[in-house]
Structure 1
Amino acid sequence: MNTLPSTELVNPHTDGIDRLPTDEMLRRMNDEDEKVAGIVRGCIPEIAHAVDAIAEGLRSGGRLIYVGAGTSGRLGVLDASECLPTFGVSVEQVFGIIAGGERALTKAIEGAEDDAVAGAVAMDEVSVSKHDVVVGMSASGGAPYVRGAIARARERGAVTVGVACATPAPLCEDADISIQAVVGAEVLQGSTRLKSGTAQKLICNMLSTGAMVKLGKTLGNRMVDVQATNLKLVARAQRLIADLGQTDLETAAKLLTESGGSAKVGIVMARKGVSASTARELLAAAGGFLSVVLDPTPA
């Protein structure tokens, strides 16, 4: 029996949406969106398992690789691309692969998700290994491209995570770690860029942010590994050095330059009164955790 994924069901709450006044139409959409965060909350144990696996993989020299098709693929690429400026990781450490290649980021290539062999080949092309964590994302939980990628990644020894927003979700059965945020029928039947997309974005936020926090990329909720790549981020890095380094903005600007643009190094220089090279040595000895350098013997 061929059972449709729940994302293909008709939503009775939004039936007749085309005949509603604009404000009521939007309230109905918002009603549906409001459900998503609670559904994702119910997946936190599985998400936590994945976060720990990602942190361990990255700590061991592995990579976080998102793979998806359509909206799911774009969300994975989006999350990965934000990790460089936010956490200072390289594009080789965290990246996304989308069915259909880069062209699919801006143009829908719907048939690309049906090619399971292409998904497997994508894993071979990036030489997936046992230290990597591959996160397969498919709203319906059945995209052949993603399933093919996850199957090959497992063969190559990687830890695999399946993220789906429907039931049944074969992808989640394929993966080592299953994150199944069942959001129910979409506002528009089958339009998984809506609630499913929102759920996947929330999950990606947790996966990458959680792993980076566990790797010492923050001090509390401060992005101390932020990359000062534009005027806004330069100003943010200077404020971080001034605040956490307990100095003034003029000195912070000087330290940011001397540190080669690293707020984290600049903070250590300010607090410890050391050179940039010594600051880097202290951070390396602390595994990159600024909190350990600043307070090596917490109560």
Structure 2
Amino acid sequence: MTRHGTKLTLLVTGANGQLGQELIRMGDERIQLIGYGRDKLDITSLDQCRAAIAETKPDGIIHAAAYTAVDKAESEPDEAYRVNAVGTRNLAIAAQESGTKLCYVSTDYVFDGTGSAPYNEYDNTNPQSVYGKSKRAGEVLVQSLADRYFIVRTSWVYGKYGNNFVKTMLKLASERDQVTVVADQIGSPTYTRDLAKFLIELIQTEHYGIYHASNTGSCSWYEFARAIFEESGVAVRVEPCTTEQFPRPAPRPANSVMDHAAIRQNGLRDLPPWREALQAFLQELRK
């Protein structure tokens, strides 16, 4: 039973982001999702976090609000930490005070990417970018301030809402006949719809802890781009390049493939393979 009779109420932060927009459309007769964007809730204010929880009385909070401008964070560290660390701390405090479950969406950038095997949930973190460090700070604050928490690290997120790699590739394909894509960074693309479903299922359990959740399998950005064009039936030549040839302000992990040990150990349903997810997304786009 939930506090609202039989209906589960979930508060979603970052409701205007690409994952948040997906989440708030996932409600049904059993689940009510209440979305708060930055316009309604400034997570950097503890008072506002407390007020939002008092007002909605949620059974759980899916904390998807974040400072996600990875390269910009290098020159704006204070802002990245203010949102990703302080904002997350505020939600953890307010959730703990009200006895509400908290699910914090984190990132593969908490790892340095130098490992050769997929990272599991208990591997040591070693973030290299300001973004990764600020998200890791949020994880530590959740772990130290809240009892009933889930930390879900995900990677390479794309979906119907907001800007992402898949949309960028399709746009480039409409403008030119050749694209160059980094081939020496490996990870797992994640479709927002699959991730949102997983988060909603997870928060209904008592299996607290850290999770890795991405679509299963892995690829390089170059292989991902090729798959996007193949599945879309678009004729574009894709040329591989190295990270060195495409320098960015923030370092990216070379290998951020994550092992889904916690999903297996807790008997949860894993996310579908990344290529299947891509097909489903492209079908959704065509609609």
Do these two structures clear the TM 0.5 threshold for a shared fold by scoring above it? no
Q: Write 1 or 2 for the structure with the bigger share of strand.
A: 2
Normalising by structure 2, report the TM-score. Answer: 0.27
Larger radius of gyration: 1
Normalising by structure 1, report the TM-score. Answer: 0.27
